Amino acid sequence: MMKVTVVGAGAVGATCADNIARAALAQELVLLDIKEGLAEGKAQDMMQTAALLGFDTRITGSTNDYSKTAGSDVVVITSGLPRKPGMTREELIGTNAGIVKGVAENILKHSPDAIIIIISNPMDTMTYLALTATGLPKQRIIGMGGTLDSARFKYQLSQHLGCSPADLNAVVVGGHGDTTMIPLIRLATWNSAPVTKFLSEEQQKQIVADTMVGGATLTKLIGTSAWYAPGAAGAALVESILRDEKKLFTCCVSLNGEYGQKDICLGVPVVIGRNGWEKILDFGLNAEEQALFNKSAEAVRSMNDVLKTL
């Protein structure tokens, strides 16, 4: 009997929950929110699609009653303030740190063995906070950011190549921020062929630039953070965990010397299975890419330092 909890019934959380239910990943799904009636309403709305979509997952909503989340195998944390136009992820730290820490502590009272997926922004810092505040084994704390960024990278590549994103292998490493992510276009392939064979230097630079501002572009267009792709990215990680798929995703995880960094959570390629993230793959960054990764780490550390002032 697999059970999943999604904390935060806003656009991202509800979309994540909807994807989990449609894929029938769990027998029980709990949607929790602090706003009275929101989670209950969205859960009931989703359950009314079950007869139409053919899933059997039982979805329940809860207003801040963590006892209903007891026994969860995986918990996705999306709660916190969304990013508004002109707002950086860094500006969210003060408020969202308190929210994420409180959520993690309450979840573990009822689900001490849960694997936790962090979507809340600023994601790298919130992942680091969840790890240090809970003391959980590092494999059980996963930041979603790189999974979303890599999907956005594939989208940009597909637009220039005129191909299916499903035929592309492409990853983004580093921090989940407009200036800290590193799309590894040198290593991207189109069904095993390097994409650089089919793209001009100008196109490659444009794809990388557009990927890096992918989130900010959507925030400007729709007036708030995106939700379809972030929700789907969270659900994809849940699926790989519950079905023990051993899929390779870029996720924000704790580093202890890998990629030349320690005491930090950053996006790197990891295998996701029933135990959480199970191993880190070394993609062999070249000198330029490693320099960018180190610069990304410095920026994330500066955000993490804000936690010491709270």
Q: Which of 29, 176, 237, 268 is catalytic?
A: 176
Q: How far is CA 309 from CA 97, 302, 303, 304, in A?
A: 11, 12, 11, 10
Q: How far apart (Å, rounded) are the C-alpha atoms in residues 267 and 182? A: 9
Q: How far apart (Å, rounded) are the C-alpha atoms in residues 34 and 292? A: 39
Sign of the C-alpha dihedral, residues 69, 72, 27, 21? positive
CB 251 within 8 A of CB 162: no
Per DSSP, the residues of 58-112 read EEEEEES-GGGGTT-SEEEE--SPPPPTT--GGGGHHHHHHHHHHHHHHHHHH-T
Catalytic-residue membership of 176: yes
Both tokens of 247, joined, read 């899929």
- Which residues form the catalytic set? 176
